Every structure is written in structure tokens, then in C-alpha cells.
Structure 1
């Protein structure tokens, strides 16, 4: 229910954004009266008072706008973008929440939020392999991608200005929501989204502040090792904010670790990505069954990977779910034990 309320509130922000977004404004004013004296023949003089109406068109004045993107590049936006190609689902979601989805003309085949987002828009390919010819055919005035797209940067810049957005933690997600708000002329709406995200995060932090910090392991993928998130990732930030201790915080970025390393660090809680390629019961025949997490039935599966893998506004929903797993006693969360005996 709470998650539904959060989504409803965020959707309300989007609706209001569409209503109050900064637009070109026409202002009509009445200028001071002007007196005109006309002298006619036969020494007859006529005085006429003329009232003038002046119409002024007011447009946003913060363009051209120069920003520094995640790749350290200075990018200048000459005018308000009207045709945007988004190269990542997280970017599309962010533009949606700040009320700028109407500007998006191209999305990837993985974009699935908001529901029906691909309808009426051109699918430009995958996340890691966008089709440059299709992008060019859309005649965009702005392309927004991630560090994954740096290898295409030269060709993309030949089509339109390119912004690389690659936040590594919650604070950088805030920063980029605000920055994109400025870029697309939706700054106030972006601030509203960030303020609401901060309110949810502050609520979680306050509730777990006096609780012990269990050791947590997040399993993102079970392919050629146990892939997890270390320091410098937003998942690491979520674990900390939710009142846990990431057992691989000393590892930089994303990394595959061994079962022996996991057992040696003995997590109290294991959180498995929904699409990790493995279920809790599948791990009962592995060394992970020796960890406190399995012994005490503290192994969980996240309901939607996108909540923790996409660096956008919905990440606060992922935070709440992780907090429920780590501190069920604080949030009155009733979980089903995932011990190996039960799973078998």
C-alpha cells in the first residue's frame, strides 16, 4: 500500500508538472496615454488622446545553458530542447517524473516505465547498442546517454548535442534530476521530485537510526561468479541508508566475488536480484548455505530489479524495500523464512 501511495504521489508531481511547466508567456500591458495635437486649416486645432496597448512575449532567458556532464565535458544547450532521444530507461523515467516526457521522441527497447512509454515513440535499439541511423532520422535537438555510450560519442555528437548522465550514488541522482530539469526547462518540477525523494529517505534514516547494522550481501547476477555492488555504486548507498553494512563496501564498483569470500564475510542478510538467474533454494547446495543469512531465514528476492538498478526517482521505492529486508522489526514487515530446509 505504501509503495502505491509513493507512486501515486510521484505521478501527481508528473501531472502537475504538465500543468505548471515553464512555458512561453504573453503579457499584455497598457502604455501611458499619448496626446497628439493636430493643427488643421482655418486656425482650427484638435487635441486627441491615444491609449496604446503593448504586447510583450516573455520566453525563458536561461538559454544558452552550459553544463558539465558525468564525463567531465562542457555541453552547451542553445535553446530549450523539443526533440530528445533517451538512450537509457533511467533517463526516460527521470524525464517523465519532471514532466518532460512529451519532449522524448526516441527510447530504447528496454524502456518500460511509465507503462506504454514506447507507444508513439521510436525505439532506437538496445541500451548498449543503439541504432545511430534511426537516431539521426528523428532529427533530435538533444541526446542523453550514459557512460555506456561514450564509445559512440563522436558519431552521436554529429547528430545533436550529447549529455552523459552517470550518477554513482543518491546525491548524484539528486544532482542530475535537478540538472536535467534545468536543461529541459522543468527546474521547479525537478526540485519537487527531489524534495519528495529526500523526504522518503529521511524517514527511512530516522527509523533505522538506533538499530544495529546487519551485514548485507546483494547478489545481482549469478553468471561467472556472484556479481555484487561495491563502493561507489548507488546500491551500496541504498544499503547504508537502509541501516545495513555492505560486506563488499571495500570493493570498487561492480565485481564478481567467490562463494568463499561471501562465506568468510558471513552476511546476516542476503538480497537477490529478481533476474539474478538464481533463486534462494538454488543456493542451498552452495557454500552460501553456511551463512547466517541462510541459517536464520534472512534471504530475500527484490520485487523489481529496476527499483535498484535504475538511477532515477523510483530508486526510493527500492530503498524502502531493502530497508524492510534489513530491518523488518522497524517497519513491521512480515517475511517468509528462506532457509534451505524450507526452500527444499
Structure 2
């Protein structure tokens, strides 16, 4: 029997190699795929859109906030993988009656590395997990070099509308903004504070980033906001690159570099 302590401090025991895994978190579902656990994953949420093949073929056990306990029980899992923020505490506790639940808690890139490595150990995919972590580390090291001479831009990152909501400093998105050379104007706040057009006008950010998730901001929202914020550059951004903390992080550095180039080349063209 082996004991494993998750990122919330909860310890589970496993005396077998998990063969029927349930993932309650989209970014961790994609990680399980990239670890080569195709046969072992028995169920995913309706928001686990990557990989598309799994989204179309794996059993779905509800959403991240409303998992269907009876569906999970019917799948007879021997390991459930959850996240402190994305899943509901009471539901996670109830699922422990069905199978061991390992829960991640991720606010920093270092937390993500630990999660990837620990899931690799849980599933006996240590070598694959270590390769993924190394790939991510190399990508972010290169990104830091590539953006070393890029000027920081003040920004607000919106995740929701009606009411508008943004992100504080104790979030994974905040850390990703820093790697992209953005200064979060809500760094003094915690978690996901509400904001308003009036407050945004007072803050006068250089950049307003509209995320593709969880609220699906679109071009029409740029047009509406630009009227109130004529001096702010407004960009639609891929929310997965800023908030997914699994193997998708291998793609994030190139995305941030491309975003920076697009913003800065456009700014130079406007000035000239």
C-alpha cells in the first residue's frame, strides 16, 4: 500500500495501479491523455473538450460544479482526480465514499509542476510527466528571454460579464499575466472581484484582455467596450492559455510570445 498526499494536504492510499480513473478537471483530463492513459480514463466532465476524441467517446459525469455522483459510482472508479477551485468541496468529500480522490490546488506555475509530477507518480507515468514538466520549463525560460526587452503593459483581464469580473493576485491567471509582461491592475484584490465600466475608466489600463472562457467574449464585446475605453487596447485572448495548468502549458509560451508580438507591432505601426 502506498500513501499519497495531495495539494490540499489530504492523504489517500492506493494498493494498486489505477485502471479506472475519473477526471473532474478539463486541464487535468488533457494531461492524462498526454501521459498516455487512454485506456485507464473511464469518465470526464462535459467541459473536458481536449482531446476531442475523448470528448466524443468518454463517459461524461456532469460538469465541474455539478458532478453526477451516481454516474461516477456506476463507472466503478479506482481513482478520482479533482481540483480545489474547480470542484465543489462537498461533492469531493462525497466522492471519497466511492473511491480515493486526489485534489490539486494550483495558483502558480510551480504548483502546476508539482501536480503534473504527482499525477505521474500516481499513475506510474513518471517518465512522461517529467518530460512534460521539462518541456514546459524550457518553454517559459525561452519566453522570458524573448520578452526580456518588452515593456510591461498595465492590464485588466476580464473573465465574466454581467457583472464584469476580473482576477486577483492569488490566481494562476495572474501568474501567467506576469510571464506575458502584463501588470495586473487588480493585483491588490483576491480571487475574482467584480468591476465596472466606471472603475475601468478610472484605472485606464493600457490593455483590456477579454478571455474566451468561462465567459465567451467575442468581437461584439470589444466594440461595445471600446466606446467607453477609447484609449485602451482591447484584445480577445485564449483563456485556455492563461488558465489551463496541465500539459497545455507546453503551448502557452509560444502563444504569449505571439500575443506580445501582435500587440507591440500594432502599437509601433499606430505610432509611426
Which position in structure 2 is the counterpart of 1:97? 34
How far did 1:231 drift?
Answer: 0.6
Q: Does 1:107 align with 2:41?
A: no
Q: Does 1:311 align with 2:249?
A: no
1:132 to 64, 69, 82: 69
- Alpha-carbon distance between aligned partners in 2 of 1:112 and 1:268, rounded to the nearest angstrom: 33
Which position in structure 1 is the counterpart of 2:108? 169
Q: Does 1:213 align with 2:148?
A: no
Q: Does 1:143 align with 2:80?
A: yes
| Structure 1 residues 323 and 264, CA gap change in structure 2 (3 angstroms) | farther
Q: How many residues align?
A: 264
Which position in structure 1 is the counterpart of 2:93? 154
Which position in structure 1 is the counterpart of 2:225? 283
Alignment of 1:289-308 (within 5 A): 289=230, 292-293=231-232, 298-302=233-237, 304-308=238-242
Alignment of 1:220-299 (within 5 A): 220-224=159-163, 226-274=164-212, 275-276=216-217, 279-286=221-228, 288-289=229-230, 292-293=231-232, 298-299=233-234
- Alpha-carbon distance between aligned partners in 1 of 2:66 and 2:44, rounded to the nearest angstrom: 12
Q: Is the 8 A contact 1:106 1:138 kept in 2?
A: yes
- Alpha-carbon distance between aligned partners in 1 of 2:103 and 2:257, rounded to the nearest angstrom: 30
Q: Which runs of 5+ in 2 are unaligned?
A: none
How far did 1:318 drift?
Answer: 3.9
How far did 1:200 drift?
Answer: 1.0
- Alpha-carbon distance between aligned partners in 2 of 1:323 and 1:264, rounded to the nearest angstrom: 29
- Alpha-carbon distance between aligned partners in 2 of 1:320 and 1:245, rounded to the nearest angstrom: 19
Residues 178-217 of structure 1 deviation map (CA, whole Å, 9 limit, x = unaligned): 0000000001100000111111111111111233211122
How far did 1:94 drift?
Answer: 1.2
Q: Does 1:200 align with 2:144?
A: no
- Alpha-carbon distance between aligned partners in 1 of 2:261 and 2:200, rounded to the nearest angstrom: 21
Q: Does 1:66 align with 2:3?
A: yes
| Structure 1 residues 150 and 329, CA gap change in structure 2 (3 angstroms) | closer
How far did 1:123 drift?
Answer: 0.9
- Alpha-carbon distance between aligned partners in 1 of 2:246 and 2:169, rounded to the nearest angstrom: 19
How far did 1:305 drift?
Answer: 2.6
- Alpha-carbon distance between aligned partners in 2 of 1:115 and 1:74, rounded to the nearest angstrom: 32
Q: Is the 8 A contact 1:269 1:326 kept in 2?
A: no
How far did 1:262 drift?
Answer: 2.2
- CA RMSD between the two structures: 2.3
Q: Is the 8 A contact 1:218 1:273 kept in 2?
A: yes
SS at 2:4's partner residue? strand
Which position in structure 2 is the counterpart of 1:48? none
Larger RCO (alpha carbons 8 Å, 6+ apart): 2
Which position in structure 2 is the counterpart of 1:180? 119
Residues 7-44 of structure 1 deviation map (CA, whole Å, 9 limit, x = unaligned): xxxxxxxxxxxxxxxxxxxxxxxxxxxxxxxxxxxxxx
- Alpha-carbon distance between aligned partners in 1 of 2:157 and 2:254, rounded to the nearest angstrom: 15
The two structures have a TM-score, normalised by structure 1, of: 0.71
Residues 262-299 of structure 1 deviation map (CA, whole Å, 9 limit, x = unaligned): 2222211221113136621011343x33xx42xxxx32
How far did 1:327 drift?
Answer: 4.8
- Alpha-carbon distance between aligned partners in 2 of 1:160 and 1:65, rounded to the nearest angstrom: 15
Q: Is the 8 A contact 2:217 2:236 kept in 1?
A: no
Q: Is the 8 A contact 1:244 1:326 kept in 2?
A: no
| Structure 1 residues 319 and 254, CA gap change in structure 2 (3 angstroms) | farther
